[in-house]
Amino acid sequence: MPTITIDGQIIEAADGAMLLPVALEHGIHIPHYCWHPKLSIDGSCRMCQVEVEGSPKLVIACNTPVRDGMVVHTSTPRVETTRRGVMELLLVNHPLDCPICDKAGECLLQDYAYAFGSRHTRTREPRRKLEKRKDIGPRMILDQERCILCRRCVRFCREITKSNELGVFGMGDRSVLDVLDDAPLANPYSINTADICPVGALESKDFHHKVRVWFLKKTPSVCGSCANGCNITIHHYRNQIWRLMPRRNDAVNETWMCDHGRLNYQFVQSPERLRQPLLRRDGGLQPCTWDDAIGEAARQLYHAAHAEGGGAIGAIASPHLTNEEQFRFAQLLQALAATHVDLAVVEGPADDVLVKAEKAANARGARDMGLRPAPGGAGVPRLLDAAAAGQIRVLYVCGADLWETADRAALERALAGVHCLIVQDVRRSPLAEHAHVVLPSLTFAEKTGTFTNHAGRVQRVHQAIAPAEGQLSDGEIFTRLLNRVTEGRWSFEPTAVLAEIAAAVPAYQGVSFARVGGLGWPLAETASATPTGAGTAQGASV
């Protein structure tokens, strides 16, 4: 273990580590553009130059291995003059676009120009004219004038997505970042290049000219678009989501996220959102109060369970709800002795970078909470057949996944066979048109709780958006139903429900919000193999 001294601070570094990451880890900030923790070393920006005693020239910290007894100075007059020179050269051709640039406010060039640059420009020559607003892919635009040629994006496309779309063409002061005409930047991770771009050269079309970054409030959360559970930050302002950004978690998504997940947030603020419970009256769905809707749903469930037994109730859980909500739903179904319980999950293509096949955040958590067919209970296909045969009196469907995955003809037959359909969803789906009771629910951005990703990592979501007035979360709806059905006095408080989960589900023993923290908490390895709750090996077939 080499021991080095940076600015008088004595640091134990790992063998073969580079100077820059070691300094950053210990809170010594060395300015840099081209170095990125998850990409290879390029050494092209020359911004991280530092003085090492015994070395005649300044060295770049990103590509200098630590050596025992090394003494490093990061802010001597020589280093500062060099930085100012580097900044001046980078700014020679940089356009004065800050007022219209989406990056302004989180731009490294801006920050370092304030910190290390000189106040005035000494050049009088016109700046380089290149292509602005170049359409380089379905989700990205490129402003070549703004590029400082750090090549982070080039290395990203070469090393992470291995698709090699971006490249630097030309030589010397004619170098320009570009794509080939027949190979646009269309890989499923393309917007990450906008995140890692230290300036505003690469911009996401979705966020282009939408809102200034300094107005955005940031709430840590977890992406809900697939089972991988990438850690994200929700950037919101005026109670609207403006973008989702990846949040670094080396155990899950490093610093990346896929474009599909990143752009999948408009449904939260869609005008099609259900805001009021609906009841079927006089042949049509009509708005009603929560008491009426929950009362009617509870009455139907209670009568079915007591007149014909738990087999007369069918329940399809949603893989989009938090663990706490799934747990309450499982409790409700247990209280009704329902056996025909299953989970519907949309499946799609997966890849070997991040994207997983199950297109929902918490399918694993739902199964762990016991939302899977009980012994003698039916999975989705058999459940629909049973409903078509008139054996199921009340069908309780959460989410829209059933509508998207189930065989349409079988579903139509099943809907004709049930006496009462309860639909709980965030949008008015086609399924809701058949319903007797429609319960509007909330999205991942509007509630607090935990998700369990495909690998059994419990991760926390926080409320970013205030729900519309009078809206209830799924957990609150389940709890009210549970109280009606059992005459209990439960309340829905995520912290308390998580404690109930820790006590009731063996795999989740010891889980708490404090333990989950910002980066999640992995369940014990054996937990994934042991079936929990009342589940059996036939599991949740979709």
Partner 1 sequence: MATRTVTVVRPRSGGHSWWVSPLAMLQGMWIAQRHFLRNLWGWIIGKPTVFTVQYPEQRLIHPGAFRGMPVLVQMDTGKERCVACGLCEWACPTDCITIFPAETADEIERYPRLFDIDMSRCMFCGLCEEACPEEAIVMSQRVEIGAFSRRGTVWHKADLLVPADQLMDTRLHHVRRSYDR
Give contact residues for partner 1 (rule: CB under 8 A): 98-100, 104, 132-133, 208-212, 214-215
d(CA 194, CA 243): 12
Tokens 């829209």 locate to: 400
How far, CA to CA in Å, does 185 sit from each of 209, 310, 525?
A: 20, 54, 39
At residue 122, the 3 state secondary structure works out as coil
Judging by beta carbons within 10 Å of its beta carbon (0-12, 13-18, 19+), is residue 21 exposed, middle or buried? middle
- Quick check: 253 and 236 in contact, CB under 8 A? no
Q: How many residues does the chain have?
A: 542
Pairing mode, if any, of strands 134-135 and 71-73?
unpaired
d(CA 395, CA 83): 68
Q: Which two tokens stand for residue 274?
A: 């259900």
Residue type, 300: Q
Name the minimum Å distance from CB 265 to partner 1.
19
What contacts 29, CB < 8 A, 6 or more positions away? Answer: 23
d(CA 124, CA 73): 34
Q: Of the two residues 74 and 110, which places its CB atom closer to partner 1 in the complex? A: 110
Q: Of the two residues 95 and 309, which places its CB atom closer to partner 1 in the complex? A: 95
Q: Of the two residues 212 and 217, which places its CB atom closer to partner 1 in the complex? A: 212
Name the minimum Å distance from CB 207 to partner 1.
11
Q: Of the two residues 98 and 455, which places its CB atom closer to partner 1 in the complex? A: 98
Name the minimum Å distance from CB 100 to partner 1.
4
Name the minimum Å distance from CB 120 to partner 1.
12
Name the minimum Å distance from CB 197 to partner 1.
18
What contacts 177, CB < 8 A, 6 or more positions away? Answer: 142, 144, 147, 149, 153, 154, 166, 167, 168, 169, 201
Beta strand segments in 448-512, E: 449-452, 457-461
Q: Of the two residues 209 and 515, which places its CB atom closer to partner 1 in the complex? A: 209
Name the minimum Å distance from CB 204 to partner 1.
13
Q: What share of the chain is helix, strand, coil (3-state, %, to 5)?
A: 35, 20, 50
Name the minimum Å distance from CB 242 to partner 1.
12
Name the minimum Å distance from CB 118 to partner 1.
17
Which one, of 191, 143, 137, 183, lies nearest residue 164 by Cα? 183
Q: Which two tokens stand for residue 103?
A: 């990056």
Q: Of the two residues 99 and 172, which places its CB atom closer to partner 1 in the complex? A: 99
Q: Of the two residues 114 and 214, which places its CB atom closer to partner 1 in the complex? A: 214
Name the minimum Å distance from CB 470 to partner 1.
26
Q: Of the two residues 143 and 368, which places its CB atom closer to partner 1 in the complex? A: 143
Q: Of the two residues 212 and 515, which places its CB atom closer to partner 1 in the complex? A: 212
At residue 352, the 3 state secondary structure works out as coil
Q: Of the two residues 143 and 296, which places its CB atom closer to partner 1 in the complex? A: 143
Name the minimum Å distance from CB 456 to partner 1.
43
Phi then psi dihedrals of residue 394, to 5 deg: -120, 130
